[in-house]
Structure 1
Amino acid sequence: MPGPDPDVDSGTGKPDPIAAFLVMMAAERGAAANTLAAYAHDLRQAEMVIGPLASADRQDMKRLGAAWSQLASSSLARRISAMRQFYGFLMDEGMRADDPSRALPRPAVRRPLPSVLSVAEVDQLLGRAESEAAGGKAPAVRMLALLELLYGSGLRATELVSLPIIAVPRDAPFLSVTGKGGHSRMVPVGTRAQAALGRWLTLRPAGSRFVFPSRAGHLTRVRLYQLLKELATRAGLPPERVGPHVLRHAFASHLLAGGADLRVLQMLLGHADISTTQIYTHVDADRLVKLVNERHPLAAGVAVD
C-alpha cells in the first residue's frame, strides 16, 4: 500500500503549500539542501503551534510569537524570516491576498563577527606547518596544502575537502569551486598555495577523484577541524581560536585591510549578496580614519580625529 504523498496536505487533501514553497526555493533561488531543511523545520514547527499556515491569521501569528518568545534572538529571527518568505510566496502565487506574518515580533539581531587571527598568528601557524612539512612526510605536506588553501584562497571547509582533482588546472593559478547553492566560481591560488598544493599532488594517493582523498571518499570536515586544532596546539596557539571559518575570515579581513575592493571580496568568497560580505569582513577604525584623511577630496588640511 503506497504511503502518503509528501506534496499533499494530509488534513485537506490539497497540495501542501510548504512543499510547493520549498520546491520554488530550490528551483528559482538555488537554495542549498541545508537551507531547505532549515526552512522546512521552522515552518513545520510553526504548524505544530497554530495549525495549517496557509489559513493562519494575525491572531495566530501573535500566538506563535508568544510561543517563540523564549527562543534565542538569532533562532527567532531565522524562523520569522522563513515565515515572511513563505507568505510572500503564497501572495505571489495567488494563494493569499495578505501577509499575516507582519504581526510577528521583529527582533533586532546583530550578526557577530567571526573570531579573527592576526597576520602574525597566521604566520605562526604557517611557520609550524612549513617546518613539519620540510621532512616530506605526506600527512604534514597535506596539512600545509590545506592550510595554505584555506588562508590563501578563502575556501569554505566543505569546498576544500570535497575539491575534485579536475578542479585544479595544470597551467592556471585558479581553482574551479562549486559553492553554496551549486554556484560555481573561479578562485585564484597564490604562489605559496600553488607550491604547497603541487608538493601534495606528487604525494597524493592515486585512484581518487578528490584532491584530498580518504578511505571513505574525501577528507571530512570534522577531520579538517581536528587537524587544524592539533596544529594550533603544536604552534602554541589556543586551539579554540583556530578553524576553517576563522582562516576564511582571516583571508577576507586581511585582504580588505590591504586595500582589496569589497566587490572583489564578494566574488572571491562566493557571496550572493554583498551585505553578507560587509558583515563577514571588518575594517579597523584607524584604517577608516586614514582612508578619509588621505582620499577624501576635501580632506586636505582638515584631519579627522
Structure 2
Amino acid sequence: MKPRIITGETLAAFRRHLQEAERRPATVAKYLREIQAFAGSLRPGQLVTKETVLAWKEALAQRCAPSTVNGKLAALNTFFAFLGWGECRVKPLRRQRELFRDPGRELDKGDYLHLLDAARKTGNWRLYYLMETLASTGVRVSELQYVTVQALNTGRAWVEGKGKGRLVLLTAKLCRTLGKYCRKRGIVSGPVFVTRSGRPLDRSNIWREMRALCAQAGVEAKRVFPHNFRHLFARAFYALEKDIAKLADLLGHASVETTRIYIMESGAEHTRQVERLGLVL
C-alpha cells in the first residue's frame, strides 16, 4: 500500500475529477481549500490516517459550528473516496435539527426596503435593480447571468445551477423596469447585470456593493449577503401561498427538506402562535 500523502499531484487530479463531474467552480475551490487546510494541520511527512482525520475533526469541533465542521468533512471524505482511501473517512457531527431561524441574520422586508432606498439615494441603480431581481425571483446570485435582455422580451429565463435547469418567470413589471435600465445603459443583448467590461457580475462584487450600503441603510451588515434575498423571496412566497412543494420547484430544490430551512419561523413567531392557543389561563 502506498503511503497516504497529500501532494500537488493528487490535488490536481482531484480538481480534474470535480471539473469532469461538472461541479460548480465555487464548490471545486471550496473542496480544495478545505483539503489544503487539513494538509496544513499535519506535521511534515506525517501520513494521512483515520487518527489524524479524527484529531482534525475534534479540533474543528472546538471552534466551529457543527454545520461548518460537516462541510469541511464532506470535502475531505469526497477526496478520500476519489483516492480509494475509504478507511480514512469519518462520520459528520451529529446535531439536532434546527427548529427556528436566527433572527439576527435574517433579512426582512423592512431591511430590504431600506437597502433599496439607500441604493436609490446613492444613484447605484444597477445594485437597486439587481436586489429587486434577486428578491422577486428567488434566483441564486450565480444564476443572475441567465436574466438576459432576451429573457426580458419573453418574460421567461431558463436558469442552470447545480447541474439542473429550471424555468423562472419574470413579472411584467420587472421586465419593463429592467428593459428601461438596459436601454439607458446601452445593453442590447446578453446578461442584464454586467461590469463595465461587459462581464457578468460575480458574487464578490455584488456582496461588496451590498455591504457598502449597510451604514446608510441602517441595516446590520451580517444580515446583508446575496443569498439572503433568496430566503426573503422564499418566506414571502410561502406566507402568501403556503405551498412548500411549489416553492421547492421555484427555488430549484431537489428536496423539500432543503426548502424547509428557508421558511423556518423565528422563535418569536412560534411563541405568538402558542400564546394564541390560550392554554395558559
Determine the structure 2 residue equivalent to 1:41: 33
Q: Report if aligned partners of 1:148, 1:192 keep a CA contact under 8 Å in 2.
A: no
Larger radius of gyration: 1
**How far did residue 252 of structure 1 move?**
0.9
Give me the whole-angstrom Cα distance separating, in 1, the residues matched to 2:68 and 2:271: 36
Give me the whole-angstrom Cα distance separating, in 2, the residues matched to 1:265 and 1:125: 25
Q: Report if aligned partners of 1:229, 1:239 keep a CA contact under 8 Å in 2.
A: no
Determine the structure 1 residue equivalent to 2:156: 174
**How far did residue 63 of structure 1 move?**
4.1
Secondary structure, counterpart of 1:211 in structure 2: coil
Determine the structure 1 residue equivalent to 2:135: 151
Secondary structure, counterpart of 1:213 in structure 2: coil
Considering Cα pairs closer than 8 Å and 6+ residues apart, tell me whether 1 or 2 has the greater RCO: 2
Amino acid of the structure 2 residue aligned with 1:101: R
Which aligned pairs between 1:4-23 and structure 2 lie closer than 5 A?
19-23=12-16
In structure 2, which of residues 106, 112, 115 is the aligned counterpart of residue 116 of structure 1? 106
User: Structure 1 stretches of 5 or more lacking a match?
Assistant: 1-8, 134-138, 292-302
User: Structure 2 stretches of 5 or more lacking a match?
Assistant: none
Give me the whole-angstrom Cα distance separating, in 2, the residues matched to 1:229 and 1:191: 29
Amino acid of the structure 1 residue aligned with 2:181: W
Identity %: 24
Q: Report if aligned partners of 1:173, 1:194 keep a CA contact under 8 Å in 2.
A: yes
Give the 3 Å change call, closer, same or farther, for CA 166–52 of structure 1 in structure 2.
farther
Determine the structure 2 residue equivalent to 1:203: 184
Give the 3 Å change call, closer, same or farther, for CA 59–276 of structure 1 in structure 2.
same
Determine the structure 2 residue equivalent to 1:281: 263
In structure 2, which of residues 71, 74, 85 is the aligned counterpart of residue 78 of structure 1? 71
- Between Structure 1 and Structure 2, the one with more helix by share is 2
Which aligned pairs between 1:201-280 and structure 2 lie closer than 5 A?
201-206=182-187, 209-218=190-199, 219-229=201-211, 236-238=217-219, 240=221, 241-280=223-262
The alignment status of 1:188 with 2:169, answered yes or no, reads yes
Task: Output the aligned Cα RMSD.
Answer: 4.4
Give the 3 Å change call, closer, same or farther, for CA 175–17 of structure 1 in structure 2.
same
Determine the structure 2 residue equivalent to 1:3: none
Q: Report if aligned partners of 2:31, 2:75 keep a CA contact under 8 Å in 1.
A: yes
Give me the whole-angstrom Cα distance separating, in 2, the residues matched to 1:195 and 1:230: 27
Secondary structure, counterpart of 1:283 in structure 2: coil
After superposition, the C-alpha distances for 1:93-145 in whole angstroms (9 at most, x for unaligned) are xx45x53323x67353877658333344445555x379769xxxxx5654442
Q: Which moved more, 1:280-289 or 1:194-203?
A: 280-289
After superposition, the C-alpha distances for 1:13-65 in whole angstroms (9 at most, x for unaligned) are x996655554444334x321121122223234434527899x84433434444
Determine the structure 2 residue equivalent to 1:58: 50
After superposition, the C-alpha distances for 1:185-222 in whole angstroms (9 at most, x for unaligned) are 22122243223212212212246743123323344544
Q: Report if aligned partners of 1:177, 1:187 keep a CA contact under 8 Å in 2.
A: yes
Give the 3 Å change call, closer, same or farther, for CA 130–22 of structure 1 in structure 2.
closer
Amino acid of the structure 1 residue aligned with 2:250: L
Secondary structure, counterpart of 1:217 in structure 2: coil
Q: What count of residue pairs does the alignment treat as equivalent? A: 268
Q: What is the TM-score when the length of structure 2 is the normalising length?
A: 0.70
Give the 3 Å change call, closer, same or farther, for CA 261–228 of structure 1 in structure 2.
same
Give me the whole-angstrom Cα distance separating, in 1, the residues matched to 2:17 and 2:10: 11
